[in-house]
Amino acid sequence: NPIASDLSDMRPSLIPGLVAAAQNNGDRGFANVALFEVGQVFRGDRPQDQFTAASGVRRGLAKPTGIGRHWSASDGEVDVFDAKADALAVLAAAGAPTQALQVVPGGPPWFHPGRSGSIQIGPQNVLGHFGELHPRALEILDAEGPLVAFEVILEKIPEPKARATRARPVLELSPFQPLERDFAFVVDRAVNAADILRAAQSADRKLITNVKVFDVYEGAGIEPGKKSIAITVTLQPREKTMTDAEIDAVAAKIVAEVGKRTAGVLRA
């Protein structure tokens, strides 16, 4: 039996209910909320059309870093990157192979076409979607933005492959201090940050232990149709302290590899 008379229908998505709950909070003076739900969704009337979805919405200033008078709080409104981070975090917690996940632009029509994305493993297995809700969708749901959301289907996550039992390799700790170098590349707007991360990592898989994005920028100083993606690369020497010349050589390989794979150029 339904828990309420207005919740008696089989839902194709959890997002409308979460949007309504967020709006109810806003109507009562709590405009900045983040809500999450795991539940059943139905894409048809057959048993195989029933799935378990994990969905969430953020409204107003409810960014992952928090709001209000706090050192880590942000004064910006929620955006597509917050929804993307939530979706990826849920998939990682559910055991998805994060290295195999691909993020492609666009999603269902209730998302903004230019501020949404889909997460998939290969072209056939779409695990979920994220993004800013389309203004028309907000109008139909009688809700006020800014509002971002995500939804992932847990059954779409592949089972982990069985691995042969073997002794763990010896943990190798380096006595040498790791180094970090920052790079900012100007690329076409369509280029994904993940492509730049993979290109940089491939420049020297032995020395490069981590690559992460710390800034994405479009605006003054960047030509139309382009964006700047800034990354931090961590180098871990294994045998000796690296000289400036050796560090510069690795940096040159990173720039060359990113240029070859994404046509990105080092930002002046």
Q: What is the pLDDT of residues 105-148, one digit of tens each?
A: 999 999 999 899 999 998 899 999 999 999 999 999 999 989 99
Report pLDDT for 144: 92
What is the pLDDT, as a whole number, of residue 176?
Answer: 87
* 8 has a pLDDT exceeding 70: no
**Residue 74: per-residue pLDDT:** 60
- The pTM of the full predicted model, rounded to 2 decimals, is 0.58
The lowest-confidence range among 70-84, 132-146, 201-215, 231-245 is: 70-84
Give the pLDDT score at 55.
96
Least confident span in 19-33, 37-51, 92-106: 37-51
User: Residue 161 has what pLDDT?
Assistant: 72
Domains of the chain: 5-156 (3.30.930.10), 179-266 (3.30.70.380)
Rounded average pLDDT over 222-231: 94
Band of pLDDT at residue 190, cut at 50, 70 and 90: very high
Residue 217: per-residue pLDDT: 93
* String of DSSP letters for the chain: --SSGGG-SPPS-SHHHHHHHHHHHHHTT--S-EEEEEEEEESSSSGGGEEEEEEEEEETT--TT--SSSTT---SPP-HHHHHHHHHHHHHHTT--GGG-EEEE---TTEEEEEEEEEEETTTEEEEEEEEEPHHHHHHTT--S-EEEEEEEGGGSPPPPP----PPPPP---SSPPEEEEEEEEEETT--HHHHHHHHHHT-TTTEEEEEEEEEE-STTS-TTEEEEEEEEEE--SSSPPPHHHHHHHHHHHHHHHHHHH--EE--
Label residue 228 by pLDDT band (50, 70, 90): very high
Mean pLDDT check: name the lowest of 99-108, 158-167, 240-249: 158-167
